[in-house]
A and B are shown apart, each in its own frame.
Chain A
Amino acid sequence: MNEDKDQNNILEEVTSKEYQYGFYTNIEMDTAAVGLTEETIRFISAKKNEPEWLLEFRLKAFQHWLTIEEPTWAHLHHPPIKYQDIIYYAAPKKKKQLESLNEVDPELLDTFKKLGISLEEQKVLAGVAVDAVIDSVSVKTTFRETLSKHGIIFCSFSEAVQEYPELVKKYMGSVVPYRDNFFAALNSAVFSDGSFCYIPKGVHCPMELSTYFRINAANTGQFERTLLVADEDAYVSYLEGCTAPQRDENQLHAAIVEIIAEAGAEVKYSTVQNWYPGDKNGKGGIYNFVTKRGICKGDHSKISWTQVETGSAITWKYPSCILKGDHSIGEFYSVAVTNHYQQADTGTKMIHLGKNTKSTIISKGISAGFSNNSYRGMVRIAKKASNSRNFSQCDSLLLGSKCGAHTFPYINAGNETSVVEHEATTSKISEDQLFYCQQRGIDSEKAIGLIVNGYAKEVLNKLPMEFAVEAQKLLAITLEGSVG
């Protein structure tokens, strides 16, 4: 990705007004017609009462999307996605409320139990009606109060558009322009909602920001958009997703996450992705095409991505860093697990533009069953980025002989003072290790969980504590039934 071109694109988008702000019909409908046309986009924008510039942004993205094709370079196979068969807007519906946990899919409950999720929380996650006075409500309130005391903005994307339009306008699309790729264009045209977060200058966010605590978090669904800005010398650790399995009627997901770190700022972004992966025979499951990118805009800034990917039938995701500021640092720590017929093509891009920039990539792929797991990573060091460094370590672990692991590293070092190191290994869980555990009384499934967690430890250690414990259990659960 050419960063200068990116920046120009954005400039062009924000300044040009070539699109006429057309009329729209103000219908009292809650759902858009099937398919995607300019009308659909005007409808969405009107429904959300958006300012003109945002509608223009959407329309331009749409026009661009019409001219491009779905990418085919990833190591993924799926039937064609019928974009005109999708409904692109449905007013956030309340989920059907269930009366008690007895009505919930027992398999889901079983997983909750294994993850050690409390009964109250299980109810919330499964959509069971709960008493008004549960802990999490009061937690949420205190949470918001603390944040506002520090001047931190943390709200839904739609809210931000209404209340902080200047901030949104300034940063949206500045890291992932709609031209970036097919799915980014699609998201930019039709995004429903998402999160917005702004940490003011010099503020060290006193708690982990978790989407779990975000107000209006329900049903942002298919085309989410997250914008996270850390102003100069600010710090934030942000958690996305949760370890509990998430089901969604929508098969296609195309989210965008943009991070901006100004000079001296540090952003830690952790994800646990556990969308429905489909059944054991590969039927159903979410197609997850995500564009995540951060820019270390100022000197001495740092962005760190940590991800644990266990869900989705298809994962297409490359959280990346543009290291623009001198001495800026980008990190990517990833564990991607695939089982049954899941497919994952994931990795990162580290684009070094500033001098003395540093990046670290640690990727652990674990494949079981008939699944396919690819690491795809690009390290690019621009000519001007003298004295830069990258270290990449990409390990693959295979369980069984029917799964696949692939590594696609692309390295492009543009100067002679920089150093790029790449290491890759492929291993199998050895019969010896399994037997050793079993001989100590540990059954084979637990043994695999233990060995796999050990293998992924370097990455799991990067997760915030409470998340890490759940993530460990999640890995073991995902691989259940992969031996035998």
Chain B
Amino acid sequence: MLLNINNLHVSINGKEILKGLNLIVNEGEVHAIMGPNGTGKSTLAAAITGRNGYEITQGEIWYKEELINEMLPNERANKGVFLSFQYPVEIPGVSMTNFMRTALNAKHEFEGLPILTGGEFLKRMEEKKQLVEIQAKLNNRSVNEGFSGGEKKKNEIFQMAMLEPALAILDETDSGLDIDALKVVAKGVNALRSNDNGFVVITHYQRLLDFIVPDFVHVMYDGRIVKSGGKELAFELEEKGYDWLK
């Protein structure tokens, strides 16, 4: 089992946002999470990745049979948890090369693997850039600075490809993408899909799920998963909206 979330309650500044959420993700599975604005989807992503200020008041998050409620965010990341941010962050003056190098070195150090040489690293950058069809100029640009909305999202998928996580959470990676970019992102995700890793795809649009076909679809409402089903559920939601589930 990759991820096992049991009765999770999360508060921000004392206000309860997640109110007893359960979710199981196995290796090889893609789970889509849908639901109206403000129901706690990003909060769930933040709780899984260990963001400061998201207090778990009750329940457990198990990752690869390990309880990670209290684990540092960077440790979770090094163990293979990746988040594609809904709003990627700009870091002025830090080049993508430097950023990715630091991240990859941290991971290798954590795993006790030798650090990639400069040449090996750059080769890997080139390879993964092609996967998401990112333009060559990326390397020397500062992290997300001046990137267009679409470029930022592609950049998230690029980083995912570089770090090869076991569990990837994509928080509205499709929003703001034109149809071509959407296909590129989906292609990138599909290329990384394997029997060893799992995906949690947060989205508002069934359209993405045409390209990244989920094994399960969950509907979140008011801090809980209120309905789960197969990929047909997404079509049903597209047609009927969320009201019938409230």
Chain A residues with Cβ below 8 Å from B50 are 438
Query: Which stretch, B70-78, B195-203, B207-215, touches the partner chain A?
Result: B70-78
State whether B106 touches A441 (Cβ < 8 A).
yes
State whether B94 touches A454 (Cβ < 8 A).
yes
Query: Which stretch, B5-13, B22-30, B82-90, B225-233, touches the partner chain A?
Result: B82-90
B173 CB-CB contact with A under 8 Å? no
**CB < 8 Å: which of A437, A443, A444, A457 contacts B93?**
A457
Q: How far is the CA of A437 from the CA of B49 in the complex (A)?
A: 12
Q: How far is the CA of A458 from the CA of B92 in the complex (A)?
A: 11
Task: Report the minimum CB–CB distance from B189 to chain A (whole Å).
Answer: 18
B interface residues, tally (CB under 8 Å): 30
Task: Report the minimum CB–CB distance from B51 to chain A (whole Å).
Answer: 6
Task: Report the minimum CB–CB distance from A70 to chain B (whole Å).
Answer: 38
**Contacts A441-B103, A441-B163; A435 near B92 (Cβ below 8 A):** no
State whether B93 touches A454 (Cβ < 8 A).
yes
Contact with A along B37-56 (1 / 0, CB 8 A): 00000000000011111000
Chain B residues with Cβ below 8 Å from A430 are 89
Q: How far is the CA of A432 from the CA of B144 in the complex (A)?
A: 13
Chain B residues with Cβ below 8 Å from A457 are 93-94
A450 CB-CB contact with B under 8 Å? yes
**Contacts A433-B89, A453-B93, A453-B94; A439 near B102 (Cβ below 8 A):** no
Q: How many A-B residue pairs have CB under 8 A?
A: 76
State whether A450 touches B94 (Cβ < 8 A).
yes
Chain B residues with Cβ below 8 Å from A433 are 89-91
Task: Report the minimum CB–CB distance from B216 to chain A (whole Å).
Answer: 24
Q: How far is the CA of A440 from the CA of B89 in the complex (A)?
A: 12
Q: How far is the CA of A441 from the CA of B99 in the complex (A)?
A: 11
Chain A residues with Cβ below 8 Å from B49 are 439
Chain A residues with Cβ below 8 Å from B88 are 436
Chain B residues with Cβ below 8 Å from A450 are 91, 94, 98-99, 102
State whether B93 touches A441 (Cβ < 8 A).
no
A171 CB-CB contact with B under 8 Å? no
Contact with B along A320-336 (1 / 0, CB 8 A): 00000000000000000
Contact with A along B135-163 (1 / 0, CB 8 A): 00000001000000000000000010001
Task: Report the minimum CB–CB distance from A481 to chain B (whole Å).
Answer: 16
Residue of chain B at shortest CB distance from A440: B103
Q: How far is the CA of A437 from the CA of B159 in the complex (A)?
A: 12
**Contacts A436-B85, A442-B103; A431 near B52 (Cβ below 8 A):** yes
Task: Report the minimum CB–CB distance from B7 to chain A (whole Å).
Answer: 25
A378 CB-CB contact with B under 8 Å? no
Task: Report the minimum CB–CB distance from A429 to chain B (whole Å).
Answer: 10
A456 CB-CB contact with B under 8 Å? yes
A interface residues, tally (CB under 8 Å): 23
Task: Report the minimum CB–CB distance from B153 to chain A (whole Å).
Answer: 14
State whether A441 touches B77 (Cβ < 8 A).
yes
Q: Which of B91-135 contact A (CB under 8 A)?
A: 91-94, 98-99, 102-103, 106-107, 110
**CB < 8 Å: which of B72, B90, B91, B163 contacts A438?**
B72
**CB < 8 Å: which of B93, B110, B142, B159 contacts A440?**
B159
Q: Which of B163-205 contact A (CB under 8 A)?
A: 163
Q: How far is the CA of A439 from the CA of B53 in the complex (A)?
A: 15
Residue of chain B at shortest CB distance from A447: B74
State whether B99 touches A458 (Cβ < 8 A).
no
Chain A residues with Cβ below 8 Å from B73 are 435, 438-439
Task: Report the minimum CB–CB distance from A25 to chain B (whole Å).
Answer: 59
State whether B102 touches A442 (Cβ < 8 A).
yes
Chain A residues with Cβ below 8 Å from B72 are 438, 443
State whether B89 touches A432 (Cβ < 8 A).
yes
Q: Which of A34-55 contact B (CB under 8 A)?
A: none
Chain B residues with Cβ below 8 Å from A437 are 74, 91, 99, 103
State whether B92 touches A440 (Cβ < 8 A).
no
Chain B residues with Cβ below 8 Å from A438 are 50, 72-74, 77
State whether A446 touches B52 (Cβ < 8 A).
no
State whether A439 touches B93 (Cβ < 8 A).
no
Task: Report the minimum CB–CB distance from B91 to chain A (whole Å).
Answer: 6
State whether B89 touches A436 (Cβ < 8 A).
yes
State whether B78 touches A441 (Cβ < 8 A).
yes
Task: Report the minimum CB–CB distance from A396 to chain B (whole Å).
Answer: 14
State whether B102 touches A446 (Cβ < 8 A).
yes
State whether B163 touches A451 (Cβ < 8 A).
no
Chain A residues with Cβ below 8 Å from B52 are 431, 435
13 A-B Cβ contacts within 8 A?
A: A431-B52, A437-B91, A438-B72, A439-B83, A440-B77, A440-B99, A440-B103, A440-B106, A440-B163, A441-B107, A443-B106, A444-B74, A453-B93
5 smallest CB-CB distances across A and B, nearest first, come from A454-B93, A454-B94, A457-B93, A441-B77, A440-B103
